[in-house]
Structure 1
């Protein structure tokens, strides 16, 4: 059965930490793919908000 796990953080280091913790729990041979995305949103005057997200696709 194919499963997905989605991660979403404002800081890339938080995303990296959570993904590494999750990836330790699954068998490397079960990993299918990882999709990564970064979005930047301009808010108010000069403030920019980032969204770092990733989806791990794996077999259960």
Structure 2
């Protein structure tokens, strides 16, 4: 069975740590793909918000 695990963080280092923690738990042979995305939003005149997200596709 194919499954996905979604991740979403405001800082890229937090995303990296969360993904690495998950990847340690699955067998490397079961990894299918990793998708990565960055979104930047202008909340007001001064602050820009970043969203770092990823999806790990794996076999269970």
- With normalisation by structure 1, the TM-score equals 0.98
Alpha-carbon RMSD across the aligned residues, in angstroms, is: 0.4
Cα distance, 1:33 vs structure 2: 0.1
Gaps of 5+ in 2: none
- 1:10 alignment counterpart: 10
Q: What is the number of equivalent residue pairs in this alignment?
A: 60
Q: Distance in 1 between matches of 2:43 and 2:7?
A: 23
Q: Distance in 2 between matches of 1:22 and 1:42?
A: 31
2:34 is equivalent to residue 34 of structure 1: yes
Q: Distance in 2 between matches of 1:19 and 1:13?
A: 10
- 2:47 alignment counterpart: 47
Gaps of 5+ in 1: none
Q: Which runs of 4+ in 1 moved over 4 A?
A: none
Cα distance, 1:46 vs structure 2: 1.8
- With normalisation by structure 2, the TM-score equals 0.98
